[in-house]
Each structure stands twice: as C-alpha cells, then as structure tokens.
A and B are shown apart, each in its own frame.
Chain A
Amino acid sequence: MSNKKNNQVSRRQFLNYTLTGVGGFMGAALIAPMVGFAVDPLLKGEKSGDFVYVLDVDEITETPQKVSFQVDQTDGWYESKVEKNAFVFYDSNGDILALSPVCTHLGCTVDWATEKENEFFCPCHDGRYNAEGENIAGTPPTEPLHEYTFKVEEGKLYLSPETHARGGA
C-alpha cells in the first residue's frame, strides 16, 4: 500500500521534473539570444580611438592652455564629431602633460585659474587641483585629473580621445 503510494508520488515528481526541464529548455532557447543581444555593449569592448592633431609642440607653455580638438565618435549607429577639451602644458619636470578637464570627483568640468591663481577649480563642489593637476587635500576630488595619451611627431602634438589615471604622478 505504502509502496504503491510512493510510486504515485514519484510519477508526479517525474512529470514535474520533465515539465521543468522542457520549460527550462524553451525559456533558455528564447532568452539566450536576447540576453546576448542585450549585453552586446559588454562584448564589444573598448575601441581605441585615433590620435588627433591638437597643436604644435613649440606652442606649449608652462601655463596650462585650454585646447579643443574634434574626434570622430561612433556611438552604435550614430556617427558624429565630438569636441573634447584638454589642458596642455609642461609640468615641473619639463614633460608634456595633457589633462582632461573632467573632475575626478563627480565628473563636472574644471577650469584653470578661475577661483585661485595657478589652480584648477571645479565649481560643482569647490574641488581644487594644483598647477600639476594633482588634487589638493581637503577638497572633494580623490585623485589627480586624468591624462590623455599623447604622442609627438615632427613637432606636433597628437592626443588620443581616451584618458587614463595618472600612474605614479
């Protein structure tokens, strides 16, 4: 008697497992391509942009100059020219620095020598950076302004649209 009952239960369980299996198969077959479709931006990875001519090296001074340059941007199906800004100058070691004006705190745009002489200032939360673009302790930013990758060829400065954190600076 009890044996028979056990059999009945296991038959129902078997049906339930099969049902879940078939349902899982259908769900997976349907959803798998759609998930791939949705996460495509992750699969694409980052594209490295081309270097763009910005200005001649002999125009660079020790005071940061705000320069703007246009990069071709392909955003999915939308292709456009986007204007980017950079502060270009020689740092105290005499090396070229091309800093991104994007504040490392929350992404506002900083400007040179607006609030205080020889400092970058971000108006959003009073973030301050010294003349080398390093964040001043006690103000909101937690790291120096990011830097553009650049190259110099035949006395001309070229910037890549990508920025990176300043390692070791």
Chain B
Amino acid sequence: MQKGKGMKFVGDSRIKVGPKQTIPKDYSEYPGRTEPFWPNFLLKEWLVGAVFLIGFLCLVAAHPSPLEIKADPNTSGYIPLPDWYFLFLYELLKYEYAAAEYVVIGTIGIPGLAFGALLLAPFLDTKPGRRPTQRPIAVILMLLAVTSVIWLTYESASAVNWEERAEYSVANMTEVEVDTDHAGYEVYANNCMSCHGDSLQGVPGMAPELIGLPYDAEAIKDIAQNGIGEMPADMFSGTDEELNQLAEFIVATNSDGEGSEGESSGSESSNEGEDSSE
C-alpha cells in the first residue's frame, strides 16, 4: 500500500487515485456451498418475497380493512378493544393483581420486566454456547413468555363478542334522512330516541335499527305499546293520536329511505348515488 508521500488523491478530496480494490472479502469462515449475494442469493430471497407478496395481496383483496362509525365519545356501552397485538397487555390488566391498586404491576411492572429482559438478553445470557440446550434458563423463560402472550391474546379475543362489534362497522350502517318536521318526530324523540338513536340507526348492544322493518303501521303501534323480543312493554307513553303519528313517522322514514336512494342513483351522478349502489 502506498502511504505518506506517495499517496495521490482525486483533487483535494480523500478519495485515493488509482485502481480500486473491489475484490470482495473471502468468506471461507463457513466452508460449504457459499454463493454471492447478487444475483444468486438475492434471487432466492426475492422468489420467497414474491410468493409472500402474492399471499399478502390476496389477504388484502379478500378482507377490506375495517372502519367503524365515526368516533363518538357518547357511545354508551362501547367496549374498547386495541389492535390484536396489544390484546395480551389489555388482558393482563384484567387480572386481580394487575389491576386497580396494583395497576402499576400490570402496566409497567410485568411488561417492563419482560421487555426489559428482552432488550438486555445478551447481557443476561452471557455464556458463549448458542444452542438452546446449552442455555436452558433463557430458553425456558422465552417459551414461558411466548406461551403466556399467546394465551392472554387468545383469552382476550375469545371474550369479545365479535358479532356485536360488527354492528359498529360502517359496512353495516344504513343511513336514512330523518324528517325532523314530521309530526311524529317529536313523539319519536320523546319515546324511542334514547334507545333507537336519533336517526333510527339503533344503538349496538341496546336496541336494533328501525330501518327496513317488516312491519306495517298497525304492527309498529302494537310493538310500541306491548314490546317485542327484548323490548319491554309500555315504552310508549302518550295519546292515541301521538301513537298514530309515531307509526306514520317510522313508516314514512322507512319508505323515504328506499325512495330517495332509488332516485338519487338514477338522476344524479353525485357521491350519494354511488354510495347507495355499492
């Protein structure tokens, strides 16, 4: 190697002039059938990557990503649920010694210990042996941790009522125009809105939507007075005239919804039309 006085640079830079040393390092460290990264090995990796990508795109195409109804802090009875990979932490907090006055154990103590140990694993497991059999403690602890994470995730996921959650999904949401000037609207607001929502959309876990009902006005009157299914009787309190208005209102809103949807997709090319056709 040229050193000191004999060294020549490109201009005033520190890049040396002359033929470059581009022969790769000799990797005879692990004797065997080694092969260069480019193109031999990378090709194999990319084949794996391509298969993986196809699988991934199939997953994406088969499962539209979920979107629930817009955040409404007043939604009562909503059970929060984190993404699945946080479920184990979420579940941990349900245990007696990881909640309430011990919550610090659940939020900081156990996860901190586990992730701290993971971070510092090379300094906790310092013996040179690499085989799992040569370091039973580390391996057993890891197996325990993995098992408990999987177990907690499973416990948490199996406790969730997925069908009820699906009712919050936008895909299951039907929107109707509510005619607030209708005589029956006020009756609806006084008697039904607290359970069935301000636009008849229902409240998941509490009461179903009142859109697309298979009942006529008479049946609706009967249900309002005598209840049906989980709906108790005597939810309606008012005069017969109000009852008539209420039934008319619900029937009218139902038919309006259908009517306007049909019209808008026919006459306008606006977004609303596309919505209803999808």
Q: How far is the CA of A78 from the CA of B49 in the complex (A)?
A: 39
CB < 8 Å neighbour of B270 from A16, A23, A26, A74: A74
Name the CB-closest residue of B to A30: B53
Count A interface residues, CB 8 Å. Answer: 13
Q: How far is the CA of A18 from the CA of B39 in the complex (A)?
A: 9
CB < 8 Å neighbour of B39 from A15, A26, A29, A30: A15
Is the interface on chain B under 10, 10 to 19, 20 to 34, or 35 or more residues? 10 to 19
- A108 lies within 8 A of chain B by Cβ: no
Name the CB-closest residue of A to B269: A47
Q: How far is the CA of A118 from the CA of B259 in the complex (A)?
A: 52
Is B57 within 8 A of A22, CB to CB? Answer: no
Name the CB-closest residue of A to B268: A50
Q: How far is the CA of A12 from the CA of B36 in the complex (A)?
A: 11
Q: How far is the CA of A23 from the CA of B50 in the complex (A)?
A: 8
How many A-B residue pairs have C-beta atoms within 8 angstroms? Tell me. Answer: 31
- B43 lies within 8 A of chain A by Cβ: yes
Q: How far is the CA of A74 from the CA of B273 in the complex (A)?
A: 13
The DSSP consensus for interface residues of chain B is helix
Is B53 within 8 A of A74, CB to CB? Answer: no
CB < 8 Å neighbour of B40 from A15, A22, A25, A74: A15
In the complex, what residues of A have CB within 8 A of residue B269's CB?
Answer: 47
In the complex, what residues of A have CB within 8 A of residue B50's CB?
Answer: 22, 25-26
Is B46 within 8 A of A15, CB to CB? Answer: no
Name the CB-closest residue of A to B271: A74
For the complex formed, measure the closest distance between the CB of B42 and the CB atoms of chain A, giving whole angstroms.
Answer: 6
For the complex formed, measure the closest distance between the CB of A107 and the CB atoms of chain B, giving whole angstroms.
Answer: 27
Is B53 within 8 A of A19, CB to CB? Answer: no
Assuming A19-B46, A22-B47, A26-B46, is B39 touching A12 (CB within 8 A)? yes
In the complex, what residues of A have CB within 8 A of residue B43's CB?
Answer: 15, 18-19, 22
For the complex formed, measure the closest distance between the CB of B216 and the CB atoms of chain A, giving whole angstroms.
Answer: 35
Task: State which residues 51-89 of A face B: CB under 8 Å.
Answer: 74
Q: How far is the CA of A30 from the CA of B46 in the complex (A)?
A: 14
In the complex, what residues of A have CB within 8 A of residue B57's CB?
Answer: 29
Assuming A29-B57, A47-B269, A74-B271, is B39 touching A19 (CB within 8 A)? yes
Q: How far is the CA of A19 from the CA of B54 in the complex (A)?
A: 17
Assuming A26-B53, A29-B57, A74-B270, is B39 touching A16 (CB within 8 A)? yes
Q: How far is the CA of A24 from the CA of B49 in the complex (A)?
A: 12
| Contact pattern, B 228-259, Cβ under 8 Å of A = 1, otherwise 0 | 00000000000000000000000000000000
In the complex, what residues of B have CB within 8 A of residue A30's CB?
Answer: 53
| Contact pattern, B 24-38, Cβ under 8 Å of A = 1, otherwise 0 | 000000000000001
Is A22 within 8 A of B46, CB to CB? Answer: yes
Q: How far is the CA of A23 from the CA of B38 in the complex (A)?
A: 13
Q: How far is the CA of A74 from the CA of B268 in the complex (A)?
A: 13
In the complex, what residues of B have CB within 8 A of residue A23's CB?
Answer: 46
In the complex, what residues of A have CB within 8 A of residue B49's CB?
Answer: 22, 26
Q: How far is the CA of A23 from the CA of B53 in the complex (A)?
A: 11
Q: How far is the CA of A23 from the CA of B57 in the complex (A)?
A: 16
CB < 8 Å neighbour of B42 from A19, A29, A47, A74: A19
| Contact pattern, A 12-45, Cβ under 8 Å of B = 1, otherwise 0 | 1001101100110110011000000000000000
In the complex, what residues of A have CB within 8 A of residue B40's CB?
Answer: 15
Name the CB-closest residue of B to A76: B271
* Closest 9 pairs (CB-CB, A-B): A15-B39, A22-B46, A19-B39, A19-B43, A16-B39, A22-B50, A26-B50, A26-B53, A15-B43
B residues sitting closer than 8 Å to A (CB atoms) are 38-40, 42-43, 46-47, 49-50, 53-54, 57, 269-271
**Besides A22-B49, A29-B54, A30-B53, 18 new A-B residue pairs in contact (Cβ under 8 A), listed by A number:** A15-B39, A15-B43, A18-B43, A19-B38, A19-B39, A19-B42, A19-B43, A22-B43, A22-B50, A25-B50, A26-B46, A26-B49, A26-B53, A29-B53, A47-B269, A47-B270, A74-B270, A74-B271
